[in-house]
Amino acid sequence: MMLNLSPILSIAFYIGLVTILCVSFTFTYMIEGFPNFAQTSYTLIGSTASYYFARYWFVPRYGGWVLSLIFGGLVGVFYYLVIVKPIKRHSKNQEITLTLTFLVISTVIPYLMHIFNWWAFYESTFSTQGEMLLYQDFYVGTIPGVFLMGVGAAVLIILGLNYFIRHTKLGISLRATSENEELSSVLGINVERVHVIAWFISGGLSTLVGSIGLYDYEGLIISVMSGSILGGLTSIPGAIIGGIFIAFGESILKEIVYIVFGVNMDMWQGILPIIFLVTILFLLPERLFGELQQRKNPDVTY
């Protein structure tokens, strides 16, 4: 992240975007039952798409966020139709196969984005990295607009998704499908549509985070998984709470280490979510085990 903000504003910015990624990760897991390790690498797609829309289509910065969200959602739907659906239809070890497949995708996406970056720089001499964060931005005093718009978008998305999953017909259908797909189909729910919508939301949210400015994806997957695990893996409200807790804990711990020991944790920040993840698995093994088993045996109550 390359915003020059005060520590408090930086923490708020980071919490909002990581929480969106936790929700995005949870959407995929609750419907498909496997961890999408490529989730955070979608942020590179978002930042690159924003660059393309701004430089080649002359789309205003914040209008590009909307286009990036739509584009990322379509990428998510593409993954479902071309990769996930065929594997689930033909593979015996679906969860393992899908997990490994998206682990490979997570390594391929950065290379594809680097190829695009090279082409863009060759064609226009503009870099797609770094400068886009403050490109076409405004300021309120000394605060860049991207902070205000980013945090505002995060709050609206979090509140909107919480309402969507709890109080709308489609959201209730999504929850029902995640708990028992066969029964949901018998009851008349269009489960295919639910899968497509879940992948659209998941892909769109992750690319939006990249457009807003959190495109330094390395190490983020551990933070995102930690927040989702803390939230129960199959709960959107839980993912929101888990994401806020993990992002806040990481940021505060980094500041404490700097104040007490004078050590800048930016170079070793990737170790913080690992510590949180190990701690969560140590403190909440029964809860995590219960959630995983509940998916395999929906009639069993834990």
The residue range of the domain holding 180 is 10-296
Q: Is residue 5 domain-resident?
A: no
Q: Is residue 103 domain-resident?
A: yes
The domain that holds 31 is classified in CATH as 1.10.3470
Question: Chain-centre distance of CA 104, in angstroms?
Answer: 17
The predicted structure's pLDDT at residue 199: 95
pLDDT in tens, 148-198: 888 999 999 989 988 898 889 989 999 899 888 888 888 889 999 999 999
Q: Is residue 237 domain-resident?
A: yes
Q: Is residue 55 domain-resident?
A: yes
The predicted structure's pLDDT at residue 288: 43
**C-alpha closest to that of 87 among 62, 67, 105, 108:** 105
Q: Is residue 3 domain-resident?
A: no
Number of domains in the chain: 1
pLDDT in tens, 35-93: 999 999 899 898 888 888 877 788 887 888 999 999 999 999 999 999 999 998 887 78
Place 260 in a pLDDT band, splitting at 50, 70 and 90: confident
The predicted structure's pLDDT at residue 157: 92
Q: Is residue 302 domain-resident?
A: no
Predicted confidence (pLDDT) at residue 228 exceeds the cutoff of 80? yes
pLDDT in tens, 80-131: 999 999 998 887 788 899 999 999 999 999 898 888 878 877 776 665 554 4
State the amino acid at position 124 in one-letter form.
S
State the chain's mean pLDDT as an integer.
81
CA-based end-to-end distance of the chain: 40
The predicted structure's pLDDT at residue 94: 87
Tally of CB atoms within 10 A around 224: 32
Q: What is the DSSP string of the chain?
A: ------HHHHHHHHHHHHHHHHHHHHHHHHHHSS--TTTTTHHHHHHHHHHHHHHHS---HHHHHHHHHHHHHHHHHHHIIIIIHHHHHH-SSHHHHHHHHHHHHHHHHHHHHHHHHHHHHHHHS--SSSGGGSTT--EETTEEHHHHHHHHHHHHHHHHHHHHHHHSHHHHHHHHHHH-HHHHHHTT--HHHHHHHHHHHHHHHHHHHHHHT----TTHHHHHHHHHHHTTSS-HHHHHHHHHHHHHHHHHHHHHHHHHH---GGGGTTHHHHHHHHHHHHH-HHHHHHHHHHHH-TT---
Q: Are 270 and 222 in contact (CB under 8 A)?
A: yes
